[in-house]
Amino acid sequence: MIIYDRLWDTLEKKGITKYRLRKDYNIRKSQLDRLKRNESVTTNTIDRLCNILDCDITDIMEHIKDDNTFSTSS
């Protein structure tokens, strides 16, 4: 499972609000809602956030092992 808890900490450290992401950087509210719910977002969104926040991907997301695996059976 991918979670975005680190994003909210990084935003706070950088002094950037969710409102500013929406208004100044055109990040859609729906994307922020998806991130808040740890739902999937595009790699383009992740890339934009890393550029906006001048941070590494590990500063906004992390992987937590779960049972989400893909079967290779025929």
Query: Does pLDDT of 36 surpass 80?
Result: yes
Does residue 71 form part of some domain?
A: no
Q: How many domains does the chain have?
A: 1
Does residue 70 form part of some domain?
A: no
Domain with 26 in it: 2-61
Instruction: Write the CATH number for 43.
Output: 1.10.260.40
Give the pLDDT score at 72. Answer: 66
What value does the mean pLDDT take over residues 16-22? 96
Question: Which amino acid, 8?
Answer: W
pLDDT one-digit tens code per residue, 42-67: 999 999 999 999 999 999 999 998 88
pLDDT confidence bin for 71, thresholds 50/70/90:
low
